Amino acid sequence: MSSWLDAVKWDADGLVPAIAQDHKTGRILMMAWMNREALQLTVQENRAIYYSRSRQKLWRKGEESGHVQTLHEVRLDCDADVIVLQVEQIGGIACHTGRESCFYRVYENGEWVTVDAVLKDPKEIY
């Protein structure tokens, strides 16, 4: 059962970057880290579970905010060192800033410009 996990090239800390992408629109929602247990549990529980480097523990996306990511598909890139999760973002907010995506800034004329509105005040979420 673990052979599929052995195919992943974990970094020196036992982590792999994981990109969450909306399964319908293809929009990149966020990037986080997974360890072996997080990836295995993600598949078992059919929801995104990451590893929080700052808290040094598993983080079930939405456990505090309610913004759960339901899993539709897991992909491994050609070098086996990046995971892409195709997810349904419950509540439409993936970012802790209250936006749909963590990628809400666009480079324009030498600066980063915020292009996505806050959908919900983070103080109301956390």
pLDDT digits (tens, 9 = 90+) for 30-89: 999 999 999 999 999 999 999 999 999 999 999 989 999 999 999 999 999 999 999 999
Alpha carbon distance, N-terminus to C-terminus of the chain: 37
116 carries a ligand binding annotation: no
81 carries a ligand binding annotation: yes
For the chain, percent of residues with pLDDT exceeding 90: 95
**Mean pLDDT over all residues of the chain?**
96
- pLDDT (tens digit per residue) in 90-112: 999 999 999 999 999 999 999 99
Residue 117, Cβ density class (10 Å: 0-12 exposed, 13-18 middle, ≥19 buried): exposed
11 carries a ligand binding annotation: no
22 carries a ligand binding annotation: no
pTM summary value: 0.93
102 carries a ligand binding annotation: yes
Name residue 113's beta-bridge partners.
106
